[in-house]
Structure 1
Amino acid sequence: MGMITRVLACAFSLALFCVGVPLLSLGTAPPAAALGNGLALTPQMGFNDWNAYGCNVSESLIKSTAQAMHTNGMQAAGYSYVNIDDCWMTHNRDSAGRLVPDPAKFPDGIKGTADYVHSLGLKLGIYEDAGTATCAGYPGSLGHETTDAQSFASWGVDYLKYDNCNNTGAPARTRYTAMRDALAATGRPILYSLCNWGQDNVWTWGADVGNSWRTTGDISASFSSMLSIFHSNVGLASYAGPGHWNDPDMLEVGNGSMTATESRSEFSLWAEMAAPLIAGTNIPSASADTLATLTNSRVIAVDQDPLGKQGTMVSSSGGLDVLAKPLANGDVSVALFNETGSTATISTTAAAIGKTGASSYTLTDLWSGATSATSGTISASVPAHGTVMYRVAGGTSGGGSAVTGAVHAVGAGKCLDVPRATTTAGTQVEIWSCNGGANQTWTHTASNQFTVYSGSSQMCLDAYNNQTTPGTKVEIWSCNGQTNQQWTLNADGTITGVQSGLCLDVAGGATADGTLAELRTCNGGSSQRWTLG
């Protein structure tokens, strides 16, 4: 919602008022599995009605938007959530204390709307507030968390955006955690998006509570607003990862005074920052240019990369910014962003973005699709307020490419673990509830090894006895550089043994603590998908 709306809402609510460590370091609890809901392993993608429609939400609007997404290429591009914002309910709860969908706006109720959205293969999101009233003055969920979560689940809701108006000054973490627990108790997977406007340093605790958290105040449809929010969000990369994302607010692509060039910059920067991609424009009437921006598969692939790293600023001088984002297959995405009002040349090097070891690198321009080669210089003439994005392939991802963190089993929601923290060679690895221990902290090195522990205790992930048959156990062994100790991170989230070509798999697709890891023929199943970080 808009901050102006919040101010007005507070004015109308006379008895109420509005209030205005890197997660993957050794020894800290990995937050990716903190919720245990298995959602948002890559940043969520969808639509929200507020930016384009404000309070004018309705069942017909949501249905027509869902139908448009289904047919215009957005759904195929990865947009899956169709989200209702404020003003969907009546001003009073029913006699049992339950929220009531406005019968004029939603004649089939939220459940009927959800059923329609689900029939298209999409998911439905809804809005509520962690205060006594929403920002527009409708009933809030503070003190009603259990009842409201049960309503959402019974209606088939898949996503909750939880705002922060009229919060009585109660601690944010307490209020947001109460709804987290209420959602979990329903047993329905509901993506949980925290919207407390970047207050209370939410990024330092948000991963334990929600799948994403707003890092800033509300965006508006102007370049200056987008630029301010970019600057606030770009430095928070260490707090983001699979299942828990920094959220710089919804996209204004196609709205207000945003030009096509500025819209492409916003989309590029949000993808580079691994941000949720929530379109906020009139989808049924979107122009061809707006849809082309929103559905650029090359840029979306950067946002949705399974490694789950938020891009960081490599250099920034005079409004000329270079960002780099390591990708799961060893490529690096580079964004060259021109904040200034004049065309400028922006340059960096392969070494500066962490690429080494090749005489030539391949650059793919993610907006034009054109490819080129360079011996190391990465440079482009970038228009005012524009962004050029490259995917850089070749060599090894040195410098920052040795990625350290937990190896998360997507299907089980658990972590690759060395049993009992042993250092005994030949111990078969397993999955276990994530706990941040040294026996769950792995480094994928520039030479494609997975190492665990450090110093004289360091061991490598190893395919037993150089075997290449399905069912081969995966163990720890003294590092020796052989190909049975080399592992490739693939864009689809699989990890393949270089020697065998088989996929790292959780035995039987089980999810219990202690289930062993092994090699199996790659099949694309969830038990063969992993995220590192």
Structure 2
Amino acid sequence: MRPHTPRTIRHGRRRIVGALSAAVLCTAGLTALPATARAAGPAGAASTAADADDDTSGTAVAPRLPDGLAKTPPMGFNNWNSTYCRAEFNEAMIKGIADLFVEKGLKAAGYQYVNIDDCWARPTRDAQGKLVPHPTRFPNGIKAVADYIHSKGLKFGLYTSAGTRTCDPVGMPGALGHEASDARQFAEWGVDYLKYDNCNNQGLDAKKRYITMRDALKATGRPIVYSICEWGENKPWLWAADVGHLWRTTGDIKDNWASMVSILKKNLPLAPYAGPGHWNDPDMLEVGNGGMSGTEYRSHFSMWSMMAAPLLIGTDLRKATPETFEILNNREVIALDQDPLGKQGTVVKSENGRWTVAKQLAGGDRAVALFNETDQPQRITTTAKAVGLPKAPGYRLRDLWKHQDFHTTGTISATVPAHGTVVFRASVDKRWAMYPPAVEAGTDRTPMIEAGHTAGLRTSVANLGRAPARDVEVGLTGPQGWRIKALSPTRADALPGGKNLVTSWQIVPPDHAKAGAYELTLTAGYRSPGGQRITSTPAAMAYVVMPPPRGTPYASDLPWLDATNGWGPVEKDTSVGEKNAADGKPIAIGGVRYAKGLGTHAPSAVTFYTGGRCTAFRAQAGIDDESGDNGSVTYEVWADGKRVAATGILTGKDPAKTVSADVSKAHMVKIVVTDAGNGMTYDHADWADAKFTC
């Protein structure tokens, strides 16, 4: 279900959980309809004679599928995130994806399942109660597609729902009441993977529905990976290890940073429940679909691999860029996901958007992800001891995106770009001295400078290894027109282990510079003891800021430093509409209209520069009336990294609530909306009449 308003049903699909309830979709995103328009699809009247053995009453809990499947998380492709039910989803596309798996090295990298999602079948069964492939999309039938995929040495996956109909608004027949005959059809067609959704389920117990299909699949005698897609509503991690091979832990992912991070945070705590043959599934990959940057997609791929998540490509590979293939084909990161020990990574530390996640690997190595949730570069650091490695004189540290080896005496650290992730494979290695010392470079802060004014900045080049780094030098440049001058030495003949080269800089943006974030180019180079010249360009940036005017300016009249939103862009003086900018409606909460304010959609965050010149922030917070009585969110105000106000959970039934925060002396104020931990459906969250006192 699209996580916004009941304004349109043009895209995606809706799901119905029982006759009159709607919630977040598994396979797509579509607006839920108003209550008066909701209907669970046909109750499936009736099962045919062929399905007489599908009675779910009294179904006993059988043992886990004894097939040895999914010993590592499944890897492959699913079309939904890129095509939905559009006409381009057809036999030719799916065969083309299989061809590209081979041609682009994806098969060799470990991807094996080519899966098709909703809309592959006709809306009605035949006279015998059998599923019928869509004649236009799949004119040669499903078995012909499966045979083609098998001819490539790949495996084939299919989709249906544990209800009377599937999740698309038109909806094809679901498997409820037809489990045994549908499973036999799937086996006859050569299905190797079944994604079993949760729409139109008539309110029947989730465990029973999913157990019934498990037993039906088992009875066919064909090994079929069984993917339970009930969105984490019934906490499948507590019971589904004896039912399926993987289970969705969250609502649907969307192709934006806020959605990806929200799902990441929900899935990370579930590490104890994952292992060979039973995996947490935080939903399919969005890499390559265009809603995030390359840096963000590398974070997405890195963190899914650290979580031992299924890696199901969700982009149309026929249109994929070289950068997309480079991310998807990173075999060193894939190796973390596919590690035979089957451990999901766990959080070592999380503080102010700086995350350290470690994953135990077969053979004793540790994978370490330094993940930066924030919108500016951050130094993130940990130690070999903290991630579980034994004491040693030195460690091998391999950067899995740079594909370079270094050594460290125990510190594992990097300056990580905004929304970026650095991934290391750390190990005890007696040959540690043969690798160059790990050298970390970065800045001490992200300066905020008014146009034409001067700011100071310090860079540091630190030797984390035991051997000396020689001929060390550092440089810093900015965009055209910026004046940057070193105020202290930028070179050192030798930098012993554990020592730093610290350089002070003066930075002046041009008088005409517009407010916003600007990248600085920081370059650090050194020579290893073996003579190898090593250069790095860690992330650095500065903000050109505009001081707020005196008085009580509206937030919507001020420039922001950064804004993230769960659906579409943050809107000024309107609610959030669809994906495009400026397509919202006038802000309305509890029947009251507001001329000024910010329209957001959870999860969201908007950051303003206040420069220590404002004393207060005040707004009327509430879910926009266009969501009806639906949705649930919380509102928070943060001043220089400290939360100074919070509302608790508000729903679509609540009137606007006054949010008042003391932001005295704060240089940055961030207003945040969370999804209250239950998904982002309907979460159109307005900051009405939002003002600063400056």
- TM-score of the pair, normalised by structure 2: 0.54
Q: Deviations over 1:391-441 (max 9, x none)?
A: 001079xxxxxxxxxxxxxxxxxxxxxxxxxxxxxxxxxxxxxxxxxxxxx
- Cα distance in 2 for partners of 1:15, 1:274 equals 35
Equivalent residue letter for 2:385: A
Give the 3 Å change call, closer, same or farther, for CA 61–2 of structure 1 in structure 2: farther
CA distance in 2, matches of 1:35, 1:336: 36
Alpha-carbon distance in 2 for matches of 1:257, 1:16 = 32
Q: How does 1:101-250 map to 2 (within 5 A)?
A: 101-136=133-168, 137-250=171-284
Separation in structure 1 between the aligned mates of residue 414 and residue 290 of structure 2, nearest angstrom: 28
1:86 matched to 2:94? The reply is: no
1:36 aligns with 2:61: no
The answer as to 2:71 corresponding to 1:53 is no
Consecutive aligned runs of 4 or more in structure 1 exceeding 6 Å deviation = none
| SS in structure 1 at match of 2:14 | helix
Is the alpha carbon distance of 1:2 and 1:147 closer, same or farther for their aligned partners in structure 2, counting shifts above 3 Å? farther
* Cα displacement string for residues 215-253 of structure 1 (whole angstroms, at most 9, x for unaligned residues): 000001001000000000000000000000000000000
- Taking the aligned partners of 2:345 and 2:412, their CA distance within structure 1 comes to 17
Shift in Å at residue 357 of structure 1? 2.4
Does the Cα contact within 8 Å between 1:50 and 1:85 map onto a contact in 2? yes
2:581 aligned partner: none
Q: Does 1:98 align with 2:130?
A: yes
Find the counterpart in structure 2 of residue 390 from structure 1.
424
The Cα of 1:14 is off from its aligned counterpart by: 2.8
TM-superposed deviation, 1:96: 0.8
Which letter does structure 2 place at the counterpart of 1:140?
G
Q: What residue ranges of structure 2 are gaps of 5+ in the alignment?
A: 4-11, 16-29, 44-60, 431-694
Deviations 1:190-227 (A, max 9, x none): 10001001111111011111100000000010010000
SS for the counterpart of 1:368 is coil
Q: Does 1:350 align with 2:358?
A: no
Deviations 1:353-372 (A, max 9, x none): 01122110110000011111
- The Cα offsets for residues 252-273 of structure 1, whole Å up to 9 and x where unpaired, read as 0011321100000000000000
**Superposed displacement of residue 17, structure 1:** 10
CA shift, 1:6, in A, is 1.7
Q: Does the 8 A contact of 2:113 with 2:155 survive in 1?
A: yes
1:334 equivalent in alignment to 2:368: yes
- Distance in 2 (alpha carbons) for counterparts of 1:98 and 1:38: 29
| SS of residue in 2 equivalent to 1:225 | helix
Distance 1:2 1:328, change over 3 A: farther
How many Å separate the matches in 2 of 1:97 and 1:296?
45
For residue 241 of structure 1, give the secondary structure of its aligned residue in structure 2. coil
C-alpha contact 2:78 2:116 (8 A) present in aligned 1: yes
Does 1 or 2 have the higher relative contact order (CA < 8 Å, sep 6+)? 1
Q: How does 1:251-400 map to 2 (within 5 A)?
A: 251-394=285-428
How many Å separate the matches in 2 of 1:199 and 1:109?
34
Report the equivalent of 1:6: 14
Give the residue type in structure 1 aligned to 2:184.
Answer: Q
* Residue aligned with 1:324, SS: strand
Match of 1:73 in 2: 105
Change (3 A) 1:307 1:126: same
For 1:34, give the aligned amino acid: R
- Matches of 1:191 and 1:356, distance apart in 2: 37
Shift of 1:174: 0.5
- Indicate the larger mover: 353-362 or 385-394: 353-362
AA in 1 matched with 2:337: D
The residue identity in structure 2 corresponding to 1:234 is: L
Question: 1:222, 1:258 within 8 Å by CA — same for their partners in 2?
Answer: yes
Taking the aligned partners of 1:35 and 1:239, their CA distance within structure 2 comes to 17
Amino acid at match of 1:152: F
The answer as to whether partners of 2:348 and 2:358 remain within 8 angstroms in 1 is yes
Contact conserved, 1:131 with 1:140, CA < 8 A, in 2? yes
* Deviation at residue 34 of structure 1 after TM alignment: 2.1
- Matched residue pairs, number? 383
Tell me, in whole angstroms, the C-alpha distance in 2 between the residues paired with 1:138 and 1:131: 10
Q: Secondary structure at the match of 2:318?
A: coil
SS of corresponding position for 1:184: helix
Is the CA contact (8 Å cut-off) linking 1:86 and 1:135 kept in structure 2?
yes
State the AA in 2 paired with 1:172: A
Helix, strand or coil for the counterpart of 1:329?
A: helix
Identity rate of aligned residues, in percent? 57
Compare CA radii of gyration and give the structure with the larger one: 2
- Tell me the SS of whatever aligns to 1:380: strand
How many angstroms apart in 2 are the aligned matches of 1:367 and 1:203? 31
Deviations 1:168-199 (A, max 9, x none): 11111100110000000000011000100111
Q: Which amino acid aligns with 2:77?
A: F
CA apart distance, 1:68: 1.0
Alpha-carbon distance in structure 2 between the residues aligned to 1:268 and 1:351: 22
Shift, 1:9, TM fit: 8.8
> In 2, distance between residues paired with 1:10 and 1:125?
27
Measure the CA separation in 1 of the matches of 2:382 and 2:402: 20
In the aligned structure 1, how far is the partner of 2:143 from the partner of 2:157?
A: 11
For residues 76 and 395 of structure 1, what CA distance do their matches in structure 2 show? 28
TM-score, with normalisation over the residues of structure 1? 0.70
CA contact 1:332–1:353 (8 Å) conserved in 2: yes
Is residue 180–residue 210 contact of structure 1 (8 Å, CA) maintained in 2? yes
Give the root-mean-square deviation of aligned CA atoms.
1.9
